[in-house]
Amino acid sequence: MAKSSSSKKKQQQQLSAWRFLFGGCLGGAGGAGGSGGNKVRPGPRTTTTATARHALSPAPSSSPAAAGLQQRLSVTDVMSTCSDQDLSVSLVGSNLHVFTVGDLKAATQGFVDSNFLGEGGFGPVYKGAVAEGAKPGLRAQQIAVKLWDPEGTQGHKEWLSEVIFLGQLRHPNLVKLVGYCSEEEHRLLVYEYMPKGSLENHLFKKFPPVLSWSTRLNIAVGAAKGLAFLHDAEKPVIYRDFKTSNILLNPDYEAKLSDFGLAKDGPEGDDTHVSTRVMGTHGYAAPEYILTGHLTAKSDVYSFGVVLLEILSGRRAVDKTRPSREQHLVEYMRSWLKDPQKLGRVMDPDLEGKYSTVAAHKAALVAYQCLSGSPKNRPDMSKVVEDLEPLLTVTDDAPGELPAAAPEDVKKERAKRRDGDRREKGRQDKAARSPKRAVPRRRAPGRSQEFWEWKA
């Protein structure tokens, strides 16, 4: 009993530190987070840099990461619980660095255009570098700095979610949050730099070289492990925005999940779901979530199925350049995934048949199960990892076991892609020539996919 009381008191002290750190911010984030005309504006800064650094310094522990996971505070905890402003106890597992705007301007050379990496719903992202000793305990490294855009589709609430989740969660398949900046109206996030960019860029932006079958499968397994880690945590996390632009790749093409702005604490105890407003990206959200607003881990499983189908086919979840019946990938291809005779019609022709048909068919069956219209029929992400990981070692097929793609099918698919690329380029050229349009802002791959919010 004493042990339980002590643990509860320790969590309250940790929570006090978080609320003190973000108290003013929460005051500015009282409404729903940053979409449409109801953007969440940042509240006044309430702590000094020194205080914030003390609040987020790692606590002594033989295994800080494990302890941080075990005692993770949820977003609900931070936003709904008030307590005294006691900073005597550090936050276990939180080793974020606090930066000033000046620090990050220097790191990115004043956010110069040559360091621009892209732009998503939260705002633009720039490459930077920090020197050894720039912050106590911070090693020299390259970083990616994300700035909040007040005109973007996300706002302060998403910034806060990112800090709370990635400030406490550590896993090889989650991108590392190095630190953040909360200075007056400025809200910035600092991540480890991922030199290979996003999976979306490599699948759809024609970045050479074409991703090989083994690389694609390894990325799928890594992303699945990241989701499984979130779902199986003591306090489960639902990612809610799983898509190719949020899967970043390190130099070895290993996948890391990024952008936790829409992540939610999962249901606990007897609860079966989390009720929330429906937000996401067209083509990725589970049908039951769109209809009811009931969010579960199986919503993420559906989104994973969409991404796995994109990895197999090399086609976007939604592609308006294609004929109407082919624009929505899941509707067009899902029924083919369970039919080995149609595997050749599913697989990306850019692979030129260089893949194990046995492994590809088994991966297609996993995608088929994940894309079930019934959440109960979808596997858990841990089962997905269990089914996909052994396929990494499958290299050869028995002769004639499964049909390869017919050459004429490959030629037809390549011709369709070329036509689609030409139509898209024509639209872009026309938009650029139109005197009535303002000069378009630079958009990252994340903005190429329509972000939306469902309203009753």
Residue type, 145: V
* Of residues 322, 326, 325, 358, the one with CA closest to residue 343: 358
| Cβ–Cβ < 8 Å for 388, 221 | yes
Which pairs from 382-389 meet CB under 8 Å and 24+ separation? 382/228, 382/231, 382/232, 384/224, 384/228, 384/301, 384/304, 385/221, 385/224, 385/225, 385/228, 387/362, 388/217, 388/220, 388/221, 388/224, 388/363, 389/221
* Of residues 23, 163, 15, 27, the one with CA closest to residue 87: 15
Instruction: For residue 306, give Cα distances in angstroms to 128, 301, 331, 360.
Output: 33, 9, 11, 15
Token pair listed for 42: 């940042």
Q: Are strands 274-275 and 294-295 parallel, antiparallel or unpaired?
A: antiparallel
Residue 252 bears catalytic tag: no
Q: Rounded distance, CA 176 to CA 435, Å?
A: 43
Task: State the catalytic residue, choosing from 103, 149, 241, 348.
Answer: 241
Report the catalytic residues.
Answer: 241
